[in-house]
Structure 1
Amino acid sequence: MTLLLMFGFGFVSGLRALTAIAAISWAARLERLSLAGSWLGFLGYHWTPWLLTLAALGEIVNDKLPKTPSRKTPPQFAVRIVLGAISGAAIGIPAGSTLAGIALGALGAIVGTLLGAAARARLVRGIGGKDLPIALTEDAVAVGLVLFLVQLT
């Protein structure tokens, strides 16, 4: 199950880069995920989940702006992979599987980025080029999926 969670949180990072790490920070803060004493212990600090949640909400708003670059451009893609790897590592730390978490989180982010972009483009074409309804649906999928995954931690 832990391996699927590592991949799953990475996948969410591919859909919305900051959503998974914000959820993991809340899990650590609420002591659902033990990161204290690790290199990711700061995710459980008092203000970290609040700041990451604000950043995640900002990302959701920014995603709807017309000049926002594709998630597949190198800087955006790299950030998703790094945050996916960190998310996977956070899930792996309590199980002593940090390296597996890094690898599976990064892989999940790659899959989430590519699959999310392809699905969004296809669905937008399918409804006549209207991006906003599909973007909002993708937001709901990312948030719903991460809430489900947190329940499994």
Structure 2
Amino acid sequence: MLIVVLFLFGFVSGLRALTSPAGASWAAHLGMLTVAGTSLAFMASKWTVLIFTVLAIAELINDKLPKTPSRKVPPQFIARIVMGALAGGTAGAAHSVLGYGVILGILGAVAGTYGGAWLREKLTEVTKSAIGAALLEDALAIALVVTAIKGAA
């Protein structure tokens, strides 16, 4: 089950790069993920929570803008991989498997990036609304990160 959860943290980063580390940071801050004494202990800091929360909200807004580049272009793709590694690593560190968390977070981010792009395209076709599709993807990302947090706690 932990393997799926670590992958899921990364997958969410493929959908929304900052939602997953924001969720992992909140979980660490609230004591649901115990990262004290690990290299990712900073994820439990109130400042880390604040920064990731503000950035995640900004990303949710920015994603709806017409000039936002594809998630598959190198800068965005790399950011999703890094954030997936961070979120997966945080959950992994809480279970003493930091390396596995990082690797599964990266793999999940790659899958989420390509899977999310495909899903967004299909949702846009079905809803006939790019904004509607984006909002559905937002809801999915949030639901999945909550699921991952519950699975990791």
- Same fold (TM > 0.5): yes
> Does the CA-based 8 Å contact 1:2-1:91 persist in structure 2?
no
- Cα distance in structure 1, aligned partners of 2:101 and 2:114: 20
- Cα distance in structure 2, aligned partners of 1:67 and 1:78: 19
Residues 68-111 of structure 1, C-alpha deviation per residue, up to 9 Å, x if partnerless?
00000011000001110111111111322111111110000000
Query: Normalised by the size of structure 2, how large is the TM-score?
Result: 0.95
- Cα distance in structure 1, aligned partners of 2:20 and 2:31: 16
* Segment drifting more, 107-116 vs 89-98: 89-98
Residues 47-75 of structure 1, C-alpha deviation per residue, up to 9 Å, x if partnerless?
21122111100000000001000000011
What one-letter code is carried by the residue in structure 2 that aligns with 1:147? Answer: V
Residues 110-136 of structure 1, C-alpha deviation per residue, up to 9 Å, x if partnerless?
0001000011112212333x2000000
Structure 1 partner of 2:139: 140
Root mean square deviation, CA, Å: 1.1
What one-letter code is carried by the residue in structure 2 that aligns with 1:60? Answer: L
Structure 2 partner of 1:52: 52
Query: Normalised by the size of structure 1, how large is the TM-score?
Result: 0.95
- Cα distance in structure 2, aligned partners of 1:46 and 1:125: 41
Gaps of 5+ in 1: none
> Does the CA-based 8 Å contact 1:29-1:46 persist in structure 2?
yes
SS at match of 2:94: helix
Structure 1 partner of 2:13: 13
